[in-house]
Chain A
Amino acid sequence: MQVYQVAAMTRAFADLHLRANLEDQQATQRLIKRAAGFGYSQISIPFTSKPSEDELAKLKALCSEAGVDFVSRADFYPRSESELTHFLRRFRRRFEVICILCDNKEVARQAAKDRRVDLLNFSNIDHRKRFFDRAEAELASGSLAALEVDVKQLLILEGPPRVRVLTSLRREVALAWEFGVPVVVSSGVDEERLMRSPRDMASLAYLFGMDEPSALDAVSTNPSAIIERNRKKLGNHFVAPGISIIKEGKTV
């Protein structure tokens, strides 16, 4: 048998949810290298509090060493609407991607309305705590929020719990599709053995009703669009949506 190598892919793939333990630098490095080996060009390791400049610089260096683009992301688990707005006011301009882990309806609705939120994550296995229903999808379609689906649950669960998760995901993805809410498929894993290549992630998305092109978009085009949009906004030339500084003149 002959030697194999992973074939080069034309799409630029992104995994926005690699839950590396930042205290274990070697494990983080291994995760980043593996992501690079799988062909991801952009990865994101979420922070739950404000990181130091040192931490960010270290991660960026690790990623550039592996040949991947590091995307800064903050995950927040607000308990109320006010906590959510406080967090967004404080962190929106510090991170390229903001994800809200919605644990109650009040937070879910506010997060879906707020244009500062990039990703809505409903990773709770309990179907009563998954609030991505029609109303949520409609609100999200009016803002910029995308639905994030972590494939980790599909890998670690078995039997009836996995069936319930698949049922919820199928319904949520269908609603997102109906209301034009982008879907982002992320790994959500913290172990190397659970990492999957982008095309395998897209294959897993087939389990909850995504066809091949939209599944591939969910691991490439959709996350990349969020990153690009926010990088523009966080750049020095951004004024307002559709308006940016091209050239600065001298004052007379």
Chain B
Amino acid sequence: MKRVKQRYIALQVECKVMPTEREFIDAVWTAVTRLYGEVGASQTGLSLIDTDAERKVAVIRVSLAALKMVRASLAAITSVAGEEASVQVISVSGTLKALYSNAR
């Protein structure tokens, strides 16, 4: 079976209080589902890798084919867990090592 290429995205969450991991990833899923529907969302291979509550940074993984869809959905997020919030992409990379060093 062909290996699915993936991309890691570092995100800056801009909100008063950093949401929990569950609340954050739910907000991302909701945004993707609203824009692309359940079938589209199922093709993104979205998963949460890491969060840093102190710096309000999160790292997610998506499939390369769905990168544009996910970036558009992330830009469309205006609230997380009922609180006003926005999500900015800091960096995109093929490996976590490169992501951390690029975004430093």
Contact = CB atoms under 8 A, between A and B. Distances in A.
Contact of B89 (A3, A5, A156, A199): A199
B71 A4 contact: no
A4 B57 contact: yes
Given A196-B86, A196-B88, A4 B55 contact: yes
Interface string B61-104: 00000001101101110100000111011110000000010111
A159 B88 CA distance: 23
Interface residues of B, number: 29
A86 B81 CA distance: 50
B57 A201 contact: no
B91 A194 contact: no
B43 to A, nearest CB: 15
Contact of B102 (A1, A7, A200): A7
Interface string A195-217: 11101110110110000100000
B6 interface: no
Contact of B76 (A2, A154, A195, A212): A154
Interface string B27-52: 00000001100000000000000101
B46 to A, nearest CB: 15
A107 to B, nearest CB: 31
Interface residues of A, number: 26
Interface string A176-205: 000000000000000001111101110110
A3 B104 contact: yes
B18 interface: no
Given A158-B34, A196-B88, A204-B76, 17 more contacts: A1-B50, A3-B104, A4-B55, A4-B103, A7-B91, A7-B103, A38-B88, A155-B76, A194-B78, A194-B86, A199-B89, A200-B71, A200-B75, A201-B75, A203-B68, A203-B72, A204-B72
Interface of B: 10, 12, 14, 34-35, 50, 52, 55, 57, 59, 68-69, 71-72, 74-76, 78, 84-86, 88-91, 100, 102-104
